[in-house]
Amino acid sequence: MPLPKTETYTIEDIYNLPDGERAELIDGQIYYMAPTPSRMHQDLAGKMYATILQYIKTNGGKCEPYIAPFAVFLDKDDLTYVEPDVSVICDPDKLNDKGCNGAPDWIIEIVSPSSKRMDYLTKLLKYRTAGVREYWIVNPMQKQVTTYFFGEQENADQYSFDDDVLVGIYPGFIINVGELLK
């Protein structure tokens, strides 16, 4: 018996969604998102973004952080469009008025009950194969941070919100998520 055909969507389909409807596109498949994140989600994303921005400015870094909604076009086709909670891009040539063309150097996703599968599986694989150097999954329900470093020596670690977490793309930069929430 043949497999049922699935429709392949493009970035144009994302742009044509009705107002207020949010979705991401990964390899031609649409993944709908909650229309508005929770207050805790927004608070955490904002504090992480502000901490990263302050560190970069204070230390003369060349990278640029962005907070969702910020378009990231991971591939060189029109089949993938994501809006990570926080993106850090170190190559200014990847940036234009529409967003980031190519893989950010560091992506942070904050887990919500409806996004667990996407953040831990689908996006993990996509970000790794697209060339993201560092990926953090911040899980407020479990008070955990899972970090992935991709490259010649891949590494994955898990931390509690009370732990200091070393930022791989900025040696010496440490974030303690629990401290951010106090």
pLDDT at 3 over 80: no
pLDDT at 5 (0 to 100): 56
Domain residues for the domain of 141 are: 37-69+83-180
Tally of domains in the chain: 1
Other beta carbons less than 10 A from residue 179's beta carbon: 13
pLDDT tens, position by position, 43-86: 999 999 999 999 999 999 899 999 999 999 999 889 999 999 99
19 belongs to a structural domain? no
pLDDT at 1 (0 to 100): 54
27 belongs to a structural domain? no
pLDDT at 174 over 90: yes
75 belongs to a structural domain? no
78 belongs to a structural domain? no
What's this model's pTM, rounded to 2 decimal places?
0.94
91 belongs to a structural domain? yes
Burial call 118-130: b when 16+ CB within 10 Å, e when fewer: bbeebbbebbeeb
pLDDT tens, position by position, 103-151: 999 999 999 988 999 999 999 999 999 999 999 999 999 999 999 999 8
127 belongs to a structural domain? yes
Residue 37 — very low, low, confident or very high, per pLDDT cuts 50/70/90?
confident
pLDDT at 163 (0 to 100): 98
Residue 124, C-beta contacts closer than 8 angstroms, at least 6 positions apart: 135, 137, 148
pLDDT at 9 over 80: yes
CATH number for the domain harbouring residue 42: 3.90.1570.10
pLDDT at 2 (0 to 100): 57
Peptide bond into 18 cis (omega under 30): no
14 belongs to a structural domain? no
If you average pLDDT over residues 152-181, what whole number do you get? Answer: 95
Q: Does residue 50 sit in helix, strand or coil?
A: helix
